[in-house]
Amino acid sequence: MGKAKTHQGTAKRIRITARGKLRRGRQMAGHLKISKSPRRLRSLAKETAVDPHDRRRLERLLPYR
C-alpha cells in the first residue's frame, strides 16, 4: 500500500492548533464588503472551530499534520 497523501486544498484552509484542534476561516468575507457592517466583518475575520461531525473526514485528508 502506498503512502497517504495530504490533500493540499484542505491543508491550505485548515489550521491545526498545538492541542490538535482544527480551525478554519469563515465564509462570506471575500467580497461585497460595503454592504456588511464593520462589526460583522470583524467577526468574519476570526477563525472558528471545525464542526465535530467534519473532524474525522478532515483528519483523513491531513494524515501527517
pLDDT tens for each residue of 3-48:
999 999 999 999 999 999 999 999 999 999 999 999 999 999 999 9
- Res 40: pLDDT: 97
CA proximity to 58, closest of 28, 18, 19, 24: 24
Residue 35: predicted pLDDT: 96
Q: Is the pLDDT of residue 65 over 90?
A: no
Confidence label for 57 from pLDDT (cuts 50, 70 and 90) = very high
Q: Taking the domains of the chain in order of start, what are their residue ranges?
A: 8-61
CB atoms near residue 16 (< 10 Å): 15
For domain 8-61, say whether CATH 4.10.410.60 is its number. yes
40-55 core/surface letters (b: 16 or more CB in 10 A; e: else): eeeebeeeeebeeeee
Of 10, 23, 4, the C-alpha closest to 63 is 4
